[in-house]
Structure 1
Amino acid sequence: MIVQLIFLTALASSTGVIVTPTEGRNNKAIPDPQAECRSFYADVYAETNSNIDLKSVIGGPAENQQALTEPIISYFAAGSTLPSQIFAAPTLEVKETYQLWFEHCRPKSGLVKGVYQTHHGLVGNAGYWNVQGEIQLAVKIGCIDIDYVTGDGNYTTYSFAENAAANGWGVGRSAHPVGTNTVQMPFEIQQSISIASALREGTLGDIGKLTSIIGIGHSYGSALLTGVSALSPSTFDAIVLTGFSNNVTEGPLGLFSFQSTIASVAYPERFAGHPNDYVITPSQTNDQIEFFHYPNYTQEALDSFTSGKGEFPLGQQYSVEFPFTLNRENYTHPVLVITGEKDGVFCSADCYITSLDPPATQLDTTKVMFPSVNNFQTVVLNDTAHGINSHKTAKEAYKRIFEFVDGLSMGVSE
């Protein structure tokens, strides 16, 4: 019997859960012989009283690119007080329902054992979990379908999962609220909790009840999952943090190298009409610096990343550190941290350099965030930068993820 998991990529919110499907269709770009995939919209309710009044510190949407760039420079300047001003700002209550776009895939055969609920990072979207292109890309995630593809193109299933992947709030086909004060990490943490609750209750469309949920995040999405583990320790049965460590680089290879640019200015053909507080990396060179390690990727992978990358709101960029202020003592479930050796955002481009005793890496600094977790594992992917899924080593990453999940004791979904 093949034990399988469902893969769900989504952003979620709040303690109250109202998830109402509004549209369904099957529009997967490349049909997957191993899974049945479809996309749909769902209205997700969430509430938080922890959003930051960011507008009171940096103002509303910038008048132009110069006005947007200046506070970013100020934030990273030596001796800057802007970060402390932001976290000392008044908090806001946000209670609202927003429409999210989901892509869901269910295995065609085998016993579904649970779901992977995935959360992409900044500049990402649901497509991050559905890499298309040459077989060298190595991963055929297919939304809910996550197979490890061997060199000869055969499938070796480690954890064949159902997957519901969502464009993050404020990204792609999902709702685009006010990008400064509304779309922030605290609210998105609550959204994640809401989506997971809907999955367990069987109220997210017709997906059915799922007794086991593994959270998988990348970068900002990983930070989001650490926030969920603090505020709702029982939401996930385990979490996998990719492109992550306890070292958020605020140097030249960190968020500053995004060179956040007004999305409608950088790519007017894609983002015309977006408010000026929705931003994006402005060039393929920026994408390479931040996400890729040459030559461990194909040109097709880089081109695909640049053409398909997503916009993100400034509220996300300025609230990314919120989860690091939270206490996770009550979280006891397994944790896997898997990050590229050359990750610039979380390892300053060398995860092996650390003040910890050998053989520890920078990934092991994350353990302090989970003091009550016994099953804590780390994996460094050699010759790999921040955008793991676009590298040739992606297949090794998912092999390790599936082996980690297969080692857990999980119940069977209804």
Structure 2
Amino acid sequence: MLSLPIATLAVLAMTAAAKKCLNVTVPVDIAARTAVFDLPVPQSNADATAFVSNLTQQGRNFTDLVLTGYQNTAGKYQISTQYCVPSVNNVSHPTLQILTHGIGFDKTYWDNAYNNFNYSYVDVATDQYKYSTLSYDRLGIGNSSHGEPLNEIQSYLEVAALAKLTLMLRNGSFPGVPTAFRTITHVGHSFGSAQTYSLVNTYPNISDGIVLTGFSMNGSFIPYFEAGADFIQANLNQPFRFGNASFAVGDAILASVSTALNISTTSVAATNIINNYGLTDFVAGLPTRQRVPYVNGYLANSNANSNQYLFFEPGFFDPQLAFAGEATKQPVAVGELLTLGSAPMVNNYAGPVLVITGSSDLPFCGGDCFATGDPTLPSIPAAVAASFPRVRAEDFTAYIQPNTGHGLNFHYNQTGAYRVINDFLGSKGLAPS
């Protein structure tokens, strides 16, 4: 273990998974041009609803309406990461996958502990395909630095953080990692795919191959996602994880509701009531609180039902996983929602590209990725090829994962998707050897 003031290192004892992992909190000095919005930060749940109503109104671009200009945002931020290698790491030429999660998650999206890590992408990538992986909490999320949610935590600044992490791993300056990787690929999910897309457009030589999961270039269905989330203030939705509420206060709330309705505090009825009222900490059994509380302007989807609507294809997932998601979900900053569509339509990147999206993906396919309205276009994600004019036809693949919603990693057939991803990278000469 390194003793460094600039990083916190902790070896993880993985009981269920055989991979070897290291937790590293990395300081990054970054700067980016960020948007300045003339808009008050939502302070209540009613404000959050009004914000989403404006954001999703058809016939106008709310981001453009409230945009007043741009500013340079610079600073030193802490990024929480997990670096993993195979349990038997005997490769001479390692390849690293950098994994960027989407809205509603943190880095555990890629290494989900549910059902004995049965849904862990990292397990498959490391111990079956021998890749090294780096997953991280995006800037503003989880155990990474939080920031002002409107004019600071935006896509632009997060891409700068991703670029900095990538360059550190290429030049061997990443704390606790002894390897300077010559081959690096990037895998994203949803908003993380959009950031991966923006990364390689800005730095066309930074990645040897990219995988965009839960993604297309069609943004017309994103309002379905924004409205369906029923976004409310995260620190009110889960005051124990995301706010400053004490457990004594929580016990009093639960007791009060249960007494008024003459039901046991441990009953299913009590759990359903609390869930419906939005205090979804109780659904997860009052988990450990977030290290740093979230201020107003960080929003969360309302409950397990909205979580299901956003990410799951009915009939093809373990229902308990949707409730487990309430214990691990993460907020989104309003500045992120306003800069979702900041990526250019034409990309400078020329390397291998895989787009893999669930057949019933909500935000990028409107629930049906095959409903293109064009008999010459096999799927909505297939249209992404037009955004990569420098990519050779043989280096672009669009794959539709059957019986899957937006949360690619949460369905019964998720390991099939994992094989598609890693086999694609291997077919482009990017496998470790």
**What residue identity is the alignment partner of 1:123?**
G
TM-fit CA distance, 1:146: 2.7
Residue in structure 2 matched with residue 218 of structure 1 by the alignment: 189
**What residue identity is the alignment partner of 2:301?**
T
TM-fit CA distance, 1:118: 0.8
Correspondence for 2:31 among 19, 37, 47 = 47
Tell me whether 303-312 or 176-185 shows the greater mean CA deviation. Answer: 303-312
Instruction: Check if 1:279 corresponds to 2:299.
Output: yes
Correspondence for 1:311 among 319, 326, 331 = 331
TM-fit CA distance, 1:410: 3.7
TM-fit CA distance, 1:215: 0.4
Q: Secondary structure at the match of 1:270?
A: coil
Cα 1:252–1:48, aligned 2, differ >3 Å: closer, same or farther? closer
CA contact (8 A) 2:425 2:431 kept: no
Distance 1:161 1:220 in 2: 23
Residue in structure 1 matched with residue 405 of structure 2 by the alignment: 385
TM-score (norm 1): 0.86
Q: Secondary structure at the match of 1:80?
A: coil
Residue in structure 2 matched with residue 151 of structure 1 by the alignment: none
Distance 1:287 1:28 in 2: 30
Distance 1:269 1:380 in 2: 38
TM-fit CA distance, 1:27: 3.4
Correspondence for 1:90 among 69, 75, 78 = 69
Distance 2:5 2:385 in 1: 37
Residue in structure 2 matched with residue 373 of structure 1 by the alignment: 391
Cα 1:385–1:239, aligned 2, differ >3 Å: closer, same or farther? same
Which of these two proteins has the greater Rg computed from alpha carbons? 2
CA contact (8 A) 2:14 2:20 kept: no
Distance 2:385 2:363 in 1: 18
Q: Secondary structure at the match of 1:214?
A: strand
TM-fit CA distance, 1:129: 0.2
Residue in structure 2 matched with residue 344 of structure 1 by the alignment: 362
TM-fit CA distance, 1:318: 0.9
Q: Secondary structure at the match of 2:132?
A: strand
Q: 1:167-182 alignment to 2 at 5 Å?
A: 167-182=137-152
**What residue identity is the alignment partner of 1:97?**
K
Instruction: Check if 1:36 corresponds to 2:25.
Output: no
TM-fit CA distance, 1:299: 2.3
Correspondence for 1:73 among 53, 59, 66 = 53
Residue in structure 2 matched with residue 25 of structure 1 by the alignment: 10
CA contact (8 A) 2:130 2:432 kept: no
Correspondence for 2:232 among 261, 271, 289 = 261
Instruction: Check if 1:115 corresponds to 2:96.
Output: yes
Q: Secondary structure at the match of 1:254?
A: helix
Instruction: Check if 1:64 corresponds to 2:64.
Output: no
Distance 1:29 1:264 in 2: 31
Residue in structure 2 matched with residue 355 of structure 1 by the alignment: 373
Distance 1:98 1:250 in 2: 33
TM-fit CA distance, 1:191: 1.2
Distance 2:118 2:17 in 1: 15
Q: Secondary structure at the match of 2:224?
A: coil
Cα 1:411–1:120, aligned 2, differ >3 Å: closer, same or farther? closer
Residue in structure 2 matched with residue 152 of structure 1 by the alignment: none
**What residue identity is the alignment partner of 2:32?**
T
Instruction: Check if 1:146 corresponds to 2:124.
Output: yes
Identity of aligned residues (%): 22
**What residue identity is the alignment partner of 1:177?**
G
TM-fit CA distance, 1:278: 0.9
Cα-Cα RMSD:
2.1
TM-fit CA distance, 1:168: 1.2
Distance 2:388 2:415 in 1: 27
Q: Secondary structure at the match of 1:347?
A: coil
**What residue identity is the alignment partner of 2:303?**
S
Higher strand fraction: Structure 1 or Structure 2? 1
Distance 2:35 2:232 in 1: 22
Cα 1:185–1:397, aligned 2, differ >3 Å: closer, same or farther? same
Q: Secondary structure at the match of 1:405?
A: helix
CA contact (8 A) 1:293 1:383 kept: yes
Instruction: Return 5+ residue gaps in structure 1 as ranges.
Output: 1-18, 149-154
TM-score (norm 2): 0.82
Higher helix fraction: Structure 1 or Structure 2? 2
Tell me whether 19-28 or 238-247 shows the greater mean CA deviation. Answer: 19-28
Cα 1:231–1:217, aligned 2, differ >3 Å: closer, same or farther? same
Residue in structure 2 matched with residue 201 of structure 1 by the alignment: 171
CA contact (8 A) 1:262 1:278 kept: yes
Residue in structure 2 matched with residue 13 of structure 1 by the alignment: none
Residue in structure 1 matched with residue 248 of structure 2 by the alignment: none
Residue in structure 1 matched with residue 217 of structure 2 by the alignment: 246
Residue in structure 2 matched with residue 402 of structure 1 by the alignment: 422
CA contact (8 A) 2:187 2:213 kept: yes
Cα 1:28–1:170, aligned 2, differ >3 Å: closer, same or farther? farther
TM-fit CA distance, 1:173: 0.9
Instruction: Return 5+ residue gaps in structure 2 as ranges.
Output: 244-292
Q: Secondary structure at the match of 1:47?
A: strand
Instruction: Check if 1:100 corresponds to 2:93.
Output: no
TM-fit CA distance, 1:140: 3.3
Correspondence for 1:125 among 106, 110, 117 = 106
Distance 1:196 1:119 in 2: 12
Distance 1:305 1:199 in 2: 31
Cα 1:372–1:122, aligned 2, differ >3 Å: closer, same or farther? same
TM-fit CA distance, 1:163: 1.2
Distance 2:62 2:223 in 1: 18
Correspondence for 2:351 among 317, 333, 339 = 333
Q: Secondary structure at the match of 2:212?
A: strand
Q: Secondary structure at the match of 1:286?
A: helix
Residue in structure 1 matched with residue 256 of structure 2 by the alignment: none
1:83-112 residue CA offsets vs partner (Å, 9 max, x unmatched) = 3224x5301101111001111111132305
Instruction: Check if 1:292 corresponds to 2:273.
Output: no
**What residue identity is the alignment partner of 1:301?**
L
Distance 1:381 1:361 in 2: 11
TM-fit CA distance, 1:241: 0.2
TM-fit CA distance, 1:306: 1.9
